[in-house]
Amino acid sequence: MKFTIQVNEGPYQHEAADTAYHFTKAALDKGHEIFRIFFYHDGVNNGTRLTTPPQDDRNIVDRWSKLGQEHDIDMVLCVAAAQRRGIVDDGEAERNGKDATNIAPGFRISGLGQLIEGGIESDRVIVFGD
């Protein structure tokens, strides 16, 4: 079955990012396909590579990057939400004259249409948030 997963909250602040990760991993283990993970609202903060949690804590961003790359998952940060919260890739840095980027490996920035498309193309949409 094809799933699209929406993550509405940032890492560490709320358990949503953890639940979404464990759910995604379990779905993949069961042979389901993850069509897309769409990060919205503060959820875009799951995609900053500048995160530095203490050594004895989970690294939520690295964990997503690793899972995304291992399973070739399309992990999309909403562009409007990312701009508001300062998550930047090369294209956004150039367009908006920013002097740095911070997007983590395996993520890309794109429009809200990607969420709607996920809903249309997938068998199920599951939203994790506050």
Among 13, 15, 33, 95, which residue interacts with another protein (rule: CB under 8 A)?
Answer: 15
* Residue 2 binds another protein (CB under 8 A): no
Stretch that binds another protein, among 16-24, 50-58, 63-71, 93-101 (CB under 8 A): 16-24
* Residue 50 binds another protein (CB under 8 A): no
Asked if 46 and 39 touch (Cβ cutoff 8 Å), the reply is yes
Among 17, 35, 36, 40, which residue interacts with another protein (rule: CB under 8 A)?
Answer: 40
* Residue 19 binds another protein (CB under 8 A): yes
Size of the site for another protein (CB under 8 A): 35
Residues in 62-101 at the binding interface with another protein, rule: CB under 8 A = 80-81
CA angle 13, 81, 119 (to 5 degrees): 95
Binding stretches for another protein (CB under 8 A): 1, 3, 6, 8, 15-16, 19, 22-23, 25-27, 29-30, 32, 40-41, 80-81, 111-113, 115-117, 119-121, 124-130
